[in-house]
Amino acid sequence: MNITASSSSLSPVQEVHPVRDWRPGSWRQYEALQQASYPDEKALGAALAKLADLPPLVTSWEILSLREQIAEAQAGRRFVLQGGDCAENFAECSSPLITNRLKVLLQMSLVLVHGLQMPVVRIGRFAGQYAKPRSSDTETRDGKTLPSYRGDLVNSIDFSEEARRPDPDRLLQAHAYSARTMNFVRSLVDGGFADVHHTEYWDLSWLEHSPLADEFHKLTESLGQSLRFMETITGRDVGSLRRVDFFTSHEALHLPYEQAQTRQVPRQWGWFNLGTHFPWIGMRTAGLEGAHVEFFRGLRNPVGIKIGPGVSREWLIGLLEKLNPGREPGRMVLIHRMGEAQIESRLPPLIRAVQDSGSPVLWVSDPMHGNTESTGDGIKTRRFHKIMREMELAFDIHRDNQSRLGGVHLELTGENVTECTGGARDLSDEDLKRDYKSTVDPRLNYEQSLEMAMLIVRKHSLNAA
């Protein structure tokens, strides 16, 4: 079993030539949606200048290695697992939270590697996921109206004038928290995370509650055997065999922050956003003539685009033309988030549009964001069976349209929170009141995340049979 694949064995991605008429700040000539409005322009300028001087969070060669791995995934030889919090916050930059999140992602990836029989590209929604788009610029409570909370990158969630005022110092803090997260993740990954590779240490008590308990038991037993076999023949701990790759991603929403971390590097042409390996454009800011698309046009990073049910064929073709005119492999990742009720009608025409364009893309399913609803008590939640149904439909629709689903994008945490209902333990609306921590979107908890990984494997094998 191939636990990790060496990226050095890959052929380098061929890229055409640098983008013309683009500068890291050329987005300023376009309309930028969802931006914070800072009362003190001078303080903002000073913070951005400082940010532009700080060392980068990632390197150009890591970014290029991810591009190669995405190109491999486009060719059907890898699967992408992208996951993490809806929003990170500064207060939760702590050892147990980071460790548990990394653990669940690694455990899920082992389940996927074993079940799909291919290497998995692991991308965390972390080390920079601090900015959030909002449906309204302001929030009113008891007759008082204040700016909306836009994520810890911009302001504080507390409801006071002072807390909600956009504070440029937070841009520097976000860089520092991202660096702390990144540093700890790199150390954990370097250390091999040995116990993650022993399925007997995993908490699988939830499994008994699943109607698929027998099947899932067999799956974990067979995974455990494969890992033990690897250790036996190599005489070494699997975790220490080779350093696993872990990439970071976030929604590159706050354009001044992203621009300040966009740099040129020696012996490479073009510009890299060195604040993350894999920035994505959210659904609300993906307008063809908007500032976000302009900013992304000049980056050499792989680019994620969230695709919602409102997207047209013309828009998608225009977007591919703009962001990937050279039709380079490894560049474009389309993350669809239609909702289980809409995916069957919305996705097939877009798959055809991409096929007609001849542009290489990696299709990834985000089964979370189209399935958000409120309970009778007004609690934001997502139903596990709907998330699962959208994920399963995504596999089927791609297969039936001669396309391929090459990855999943999930909002999850390594904690046992109660934010999404359902799953093996069948969490109810009442359970949501017990351990609901998210200040933004509801996440799959540890158990639900592992269950989702097993369901992906199950769906994949059913379709392959």
Q: Give residues in contact with Co ion (CB under 5 A).
A: 86, 441
Phi, psi of 256 (to 5 degrees): -60, -40
Q: What residue 443 binds from Co ion, ligand PEP, none (CB within 5 to 8 A, per partner kind)?
A: none
User: Judged by CB, which is closer to ligand PEP: 9, or 136?
Assistant: 136
Q: 278 - beta bridge partners?
A: 249
Output the six-digit token pair for 86: 């809806």
Residues 69-88 that bind ligand PEP (CB under 6 A): 86
Mark the segment that binds ligand PEP (CB under 6 A) among 21-29, 47-55, 113-121, 280-288.
280-288
> What is the pattern of x (binds ligand PEP, CB under 6 A) and - over residues 430-459?
-----------x------------------
Q: State yes or no: residue 369 binds ligand PEP (CB under 6 A).
A: yes
Report in angstroms how near the CB of residue 410 gets to ligand PEP at its nearest: 10
Do residues 32 and 255 make contact, with C-beta atoms less than 8 angstroms apart?
yes
Residues 305-334 that bind ligand PEP (CB under 6 A): 306
Q: State yes or no: residue 293 binds ligand PEP (CB under 6 A).
A: no
User: Judged by CB, which is closer to Co ion: 57, or 86?
Assistant: 86
User: Judged by CB, which is closer to Co ion: 47, or 283?
Assistant: 283
What's CA 211's distance to the chain center, in Å?
Answer: 29
User: Judged by CB, which is closer to ligand PEP: 274, or 305?
Assistant: 305
Using CB under 6 A as the binding criterion, the count of chain residues that bind ligand PEP stands at 10
User: Judged by CB, which is closer to ligand PEP: 78, or 306?
Assistant: 306
Report in angstroms how near the CB of residue 395 gets to ligand PEP at its nearest: 19
Residues 213-252 that bind ligand PEP (CB under 6 A): 251
Q: Got the DSSP string for 139-188?
A: EEETTEEEEPP--TTT--SSSSHHHHS--THHHHHHHHHHHHHHHHHHHH
Q: State yes or no: residue 337 binds ligand PEP (CB under 6 A).
A: yes
Name the closest residue to ligand PEP (Cβ): 282
Q: State yes or no: residue 283 binds ligand PEP (CB under 6 A).
A: yes
Residues 121-160 that bind ligand PEP (CB under 6 A): 133
Q: What residue 404 binds from ligand PEP, Co ion, none (CB within 5 to 8 A, per partner kind)?
A: none
Q: 29 - beta bridge partners?
A: none
In sign, the C-alpha dihedral spanning 102, 192, 1, 330 is positive
Report in angstroms how near the CB of residue 200 gets to Co ion at its nearest: 34
Within the chain, what is the greatest distance between any pair of CA atoms? 68
Runs of H (alpha helix) within 341-401 = 343-357, 384-400
What's CA 343's distance to the chain center, in Å?
Answer: 20
Spatial separation of the C-alpha atoms in residues 252 and 129, rounded to whole Å: 8
**Cα-atom radius of gyration of the chain, to the nearest Å?**
21
Do residues 133 and 119 make contact, with C-beta atoms less than 8 angstroms apart?
no
Residues 175-204 that bind ligand PEP (CB under 6 A): none
% helix, strand, coil for the chain, step of 5: 45, 15, 40
Spatial neighbors of 172 by CB under 8 A, at least 6 apart, are 47, 50, 51, 54
Spatial separation of the C-alpha atoms in residues 341 and 343, rounded to whole Å: 6
User: Judged by CB, which is closer to ligand PEP: 31, or 203?
Assistant: 31
User: Judged by CB, which is closer to ligand PEP: 170, or 337?
Assistant: 337
List residues binding ligand PEP (CB under 6 A): 86, 133, 251, 282-284, 306, 337, 369, 441
